[in-house]
Amino acid sequence: MPTRRPLAALLAVLWALVISLGLPGAATAAEPETPPAVHSFVAAAAREAAPAVVRIDTERSLAPQSLDPALLDPMLRDLFGDPGSLRERGQGSGVVFDAQKGLVLTNAHVVDQVERVEVTLADGRQLDGDVVGADPVTDLAVVRIRGGSDLQAARLGDSEALAVGDWAIALGSPYGLERTVTLGIISSLHRDINLLGFADKRLDLIQTDAAINPGNSGGPLINAAGEVVGINTLVRSGPGAGLGFAIPINLARGVAAQLSTGGVVVHPYLGLQLVPLTARRARDNNRDPDALLQLPERDGALVQRVIEGSPADKTGLRRGDLVVSMDEQPVNEPRDLLRQVEHAAVGKPLELTVIRGQSELHLSISPAALPHAG
């Protein structure tokens, strides 16, 4: 069979060529390639900030008036010990912002009236700390780590650059669970804390749906680049679940600088309670025959209350006055005025333009230091 031998020889040569070139043949299957591991931007951002995040554990003695009266019964002391020796433990989070000096930024309520502070670093080291200063008005405090070395400080971002919808990542130790990372977005900016029922605070908060739970207080809120843009402070549970709030880092940076030197943060104030007023809202009010007060039909900050003895009271401001400018800068809503006051110097006069009835008044008012700030 002369025609079969050349065909058989040709097939043998082709098979040898397939094997020698390493091409897939009929008898062997190609090894599947393992795809490279893919990590999200969240992992990269958390990895950037995590070395600066700390857990803060605190202790303080319980005051007798805060104890159950039954514990003061001498017959129960054998069971529960001396009530005066009972200790209350607390826990929160913080972030290193000055590695050389071992300074940590946290919330004032985390270290309020505590007698002992222990800081757990990201690498597991546990070191004692001291409260350098606290400002209850902004709910910020600075803790110095004793003997801290090889610390890593977080990169601080720009909270003014945030936009609603930006990614937000919360880091901290909720419920004592260290190195916890949660993801959300910036839900709102410039949230008025008075609407949340905290009248003793003066904050312009960042709202986020990143999960912030007890123990997250004082930890950082970071952006997608791993920069700190806020300090976690509040969470609303129950019907408002999913609402978390953070102090803008631009505000926190300034407060921390004052607290770090052992200084007291001075907050200028005028002594006014203000509500926003728009021209449309004023017109609607003025058309109402039962309206108690005729309002100026302009945008501005409407005086709702004047605190007795305050700079506003001494200047002669009244309920129903509409503030429309301060130092020639327009005031379209209360936040415009409050921001200018916060950056003003105590005792330095500010020029107000006020609409009262049909008259335009020009008043000079000097901010005083907020009485309970110190």
Please list the active-site residues. 109, 139, 217
* Cα separation, 100 vs 152, whole angstroms: 9
Amino acid at 76: L
Please say whether the dihedral angle defined by the alpha carbons of residues 334, 336, 339 and 342, taken in this order, is positive or negative.
Answer: negative
Element (H, E) at 342: helix 334-342
Report the greatest alpha carbon distance in the chain.
124
Q: How far is CA 33 from CA 6, 30, 36, in A?
A: 39, 9, 9
Task: Name the phi and psi angles at 33, rounded to 5.
Answer: -80, 140
Task: Name the phi and psi angles at 205, rounded to 5.
Answer: -90, 155
The set of residues, in sequence order, having a beta carbon less than 8 Å from that of 166 and lying 6+ positions away, is 185, 186, 223, 224
Please say whether the dihedral angle defined by the alpha carbons of residues 158, 163, 167 and 170, taken in this order, is positive or negative.
Answer: positive
A 10 A CB-CB count for 322 gives 23
